[in-house]
Amino acid sequence: MVAIFNGIHLCKRNERCTISFLGRVSRLIRFDAIFLVWLIFSTAFLLLPLSSMIRAANAETTSDTEQRENAEIAEELTNPIADLMIFPIQFNYDQDIGPRDDGWRLQMNVQPVIPFHLTKHWNLISRIIVPVIYQEDIYPGEGSQFGLGDTSMSMYFSPKEPTSSGIIWGAGPQLLFPTASDKLLGREKWGAGPGVIALVQPGPWAVGALGHHVWSYAGDSDRQDVNNSFIQPFLAYTWPSAWTVSAFSESNYNWESEDWSVPVYLALARVVRWGKLPVRLQGVVGYWVESTDEGPEGFSLRFQVNFVLPK
């Protein structure tokens, strides 16, 4: 508070300084609001499992079977191509975006995962990601934007059983659709390419990686072509209590601009029950190790809810 009054006193006769100072104050207020929302989500993330444990302790009969089922589901969820129908909703916050590092973005990804049983031995796992974005001060002079981003779709053809060496794998096409409601929220390009995933699950561990490459083949010729490689290595461990800790990256290489974007993430999750419905709550903290000149920097926050639907 003292710093704010000092800033007002120093800037009161300098219009440019005053505008700069007020900009800093607004960013502080914005960060406080975002932190408050994150605190509410984090508190809910911690209290919901605690309340379920308290209810279980006070129940006349302990549901050991349900606990085992939760742990099994938690382990299955560490496999991105598990035979589970899931409806994840993911909230992301990134900061220091744009040429002046003044921008920030809140993004909600709705990404249903639907398995199809093609034959006795093969599954098709489809994942659609529909982003809803609010961003501000990323493009100088453009203010804020809100709306849909570009939709992406992954399809993995995967054997129902692991290989003799325990490897679970899948491969298939990756698609990009220009569904953005604002030209500043998307790339205005149609894209496609191959994707592959492989992992092993020895006991409570899950270790693996997925990757894909997407090229643009149509769209606005005035926009930069899409020529991107994506790599996501991951490591996870699940306890019998249905808690899971994981570490992963979501690295992207743009072959057009020859730039890397490399965030690293640490996540904590637990499977709980909302009624009879299994739900995984996950909190994630990330840090941008490498970014483009106009990409996000510093810390990143994520909160995710996965609804595990009946088959």
- What DSSP state is assigned to residue 74? H
pLDDT band for 248, please (50, 70, 90 cuts). very high
pLDDT score, position 254: 97
117/12 same-domain check: no
How far apart (Å, rounded) are the C-alpha atoms in residues 296 and 300? 9
84/32 same-domain check: no
pLDDT at 193 over 80: yes
92/25 same-domain check: no
pLDDT band for 65, please (50, 70, 90 cuts). confident
Q: Which residue has the higher pLDDT, 144 or 54?
A: 144
31/67 same-domain check: no
Q: How many domains, the chain?
A: 2
57/180 same-domain check: no
95/20 same-domain check: no
Rounded to two decimals, the pTM is: 0.81
pLDDT band for 110, please (50, 70, 90 cuts). very high
140/259 same-domain check: yes
Lookup result for tokens 């849909």: 148
pLDDT score, position 64: 81
214/161 same-domain check: yes
pLDDT at 165 over 70: yes
287/138 same-domain check: yes
209/270 same-domain check: yes
Q: Could you say which of 47, 62, 77 is where a domain stops?
A: 62
266/289 same-domain check: yes
Give just the sign of the alpha carbon dihedral 289, 280, 48, 89: positive
Contact call for residues 297 and 95 (beta carbons, < 8 A): yes
Give pLDDT tens digits for 138-154.
999 999 999 999 999 99
CATH of the domain at 159: 2.40.160.40
41/90 same-domain check: no
Q: Could you say which of 62, 79, 106 is where a domain stops?
A: 62
55 sits in which H/E element: helix 15-58
pLDDT score, position 52: 53
Region 197-220 average pLDDT = 97
Q: Could you say which of 62, 87, 104 is where a domain stops?
A: 62
Range of the domain at 11: 1-62
